Amino acid sequence: MVQQIASERLVATDQRHLIHPLHNSTHRARILARGRGALLWDMDGREYIDGLSGLWNVNVGHGREELAAAAHQQMSTLAYCSGYVGQSTEPAIELAERLAGLAYPNLNTVFFTSGGAESNESAFKTARYYWKRHGKPGKVKIISRHHGYHGVTMAAMSATGMSVYHTMFGPLVPEFVKIDAPYLYRCPPGIDTEVWPAATGAALEEKILAEGPDTVAAFIAEPVMGAGGVIPPPDGYFASIREICDRYNVLFIADEVITGFGRTGRWFALDHWGVQPDIMSFAKGITSGYVPLGGIMVSDAIADSIRSGSGASAWMHAYTYSAHPTCCAVGLANLRVFEQERLVERAAENGAYLQKRMRDLEASPHVDGARGLGMMAAVEVVASKEGRRGFPPERGVGSRAIAIAASRGLITRTRAYPGGEALCLAPPLVTTREQIDRAVTILGESIQEAIRATA
């Protein structure tokens, strides 16, 4: 009772003093107090499965004392110092070396940031920088995809392909252009997915030619789209993208902010298709969200151009918290947990199980389009599988299902499209099969109940 009064007071104070990401005053905050593995508890002691790993980031699960100890040790020794040119620290150097060993063979050099959007801003600026250094100052455009999510700072927002993020903050930064994503479930009727330009990569070539290859700096894509509703590519897609980028001298930026660090059952997701990017953005799983850290890794050719710049051609890009020693120390401790507990292999094994359990939900006439890779998955909620027709948005089936799931002990997220809704699951890589079963069962039951409740 006393606890409940305390949590009510916090909810009221939250409403009074906090603006939340994607703020919406009709939402009451759930006050979370504790976590262990894949589980969370709120202030009143209610237990939840963390079905989205926080925000796709708590890969090693909650309550890891070894990460807390690494932060404590580093903070007690040297919590912060600037990483600007002329200074460095052991954790930053060690982490950069570890990453060079883990990432694609052509990426050996790291610039650290504090999160995903900062990483993508760094990637866009670095792509432009590279072309200016190569005597092509007109190559400035960034091509991205509808449904893509790359963060919401000005340039990252302009690459993000979901209009809800643009409506109240336009105009977008100029020179950002978009193509369709290989969202196979929503391939236009009457078109064979095998030849659909969005799915073959041909849409990228068409856009590069339409804009003029001499104006395009880079193409950015998530290997598996995350916030857009967990959309994996068809098998040959990224090989085709790589080939097109090479043909037109366009840099390929892989946004592995979600897919990095084991999420898909490989260290980094393009590895599934044997493709290497020129620049890779990362964040989230590098510290499993325990402290904010992100970065970009760049190809040796790009690293050389940065290293050889000076004076007016210097790479004048920087963040106060770049290579933050405490964050890097936590990143190293996080990677030790990955290794000791074989988390990437476990994500592949348990991920295959998660995918199968999500496909089982398709037994319902209202669940379709199950998809994903490793420990990220989604299903579509549909009024009818015929014509893949979603429920009318005003019925709010997906958001009701998410609220019902929370009341039954599963926290997760929905993604609304013009034609329907997807419900996502991406629990921590340590989630047990019993917990996967529980999460999928709650999700399935919540969908059915939401359909009944909104009829």
Ligand X SMILES: Cc1ncc(COP(=O)(O)O)c(C=O)c1O
Binding footprint of ligand X, residue count (CB under 6 A) = 15
Buried b (16+ CB within 10 A) or exposed e, 303-341: bebbeebeeeeebeeebebbbbbbbbbbbbbbbebbeee
If you count DSSP H runs as helices and E runs as strands, how many of each does the chain have, helices first? 14, 15
Stretch that binds ligand X, among 114-122, 128-136, 209-217, 378-386 (CB under 6 A): 114-122
Q: Which of 37, 61, 116, 285 touches ligand X by CB under 6 A?
A: 116
Least spacing, CB of residue 231 vs ligand X, in Å: 12
The alpha carbon of 405 is separated from its chain's Cα centroid by a whole number of angstroms, namely: 22
Measured from the CB atom, the residue of 256 and 368 that comes closer to ligand X is: 256
Return d(Cα 148, Cα 159) in angstroms, integer.
Answer: 8
> Per rule CB under 6 A, is residue 255 in the interface with ligand X?
yes
Measured from the CB atom, the residue of 227 and 358 that comes closer to ligand X is: 227
Return d(Cα 140, Cα 158) in angstroms, integer.
Answer: 14
Binding to ligand X, residues 127-156 (CB under 6 A): 149-151
Binding to ligand X, residues 48-87 (CB under 6 A): 55
278 closest CA partner among 257, 294, 297: 297
Stretch that binds ligand X, among 59-67, 109-117, 180-188, 297-305 (CB under 6 A): 109-117
Q: Which of 37, 61, 91, 226 touches ligand X by CB under 6 A?
A: 226
Measured from the CB atom, the residue of 39 and 426 that comes closer to ligand X is: 426
Return d(Cα 125, Cα 155) in angstroms, integer.
Answer: 10
SS3 label, residue 404? helix
Measured from the CB atom, the residue of 141 and 150 that comes closer to ligand X is: 150
> Per rule CB under 6 A, is residue 272 in the interface with ligand X?
no
> Per rule CB under 6 A, is residue 444 in the interface with ligand X?
no
Least spacing, CB of residue 291 vs ligand X, in Å: 12
Measured from the CB atom, the residue of 280 and 450 that comes closer to ligand X is: 280
Least spacing, CB of residue 258 vs ligand X, in Å: 4
Q: Which of 140, 217, 227, 404 touches ligand X by CB under 6 A?
A: 227
Q: Which two tokens stand for residue 350?
A: 């348990």
Query: Bridge partners of 87?
Result: none
> Per rule CB under 6 A, is residue 325 in the interface with ligand X?
no
Eight-class DSSP state of 266: S
Q: Using an 8 Å Cβ cutoff, are 71 and 293 in contact?
A: no
Torsion angle of C-alpha atoms 48, 261, 324, 70, degrees rounded to 10: 60
Contacts to ligand X by CB under 6 A: 55, 115-117, 120, 149-151, 222, 226-227, 255, 257-258, 283
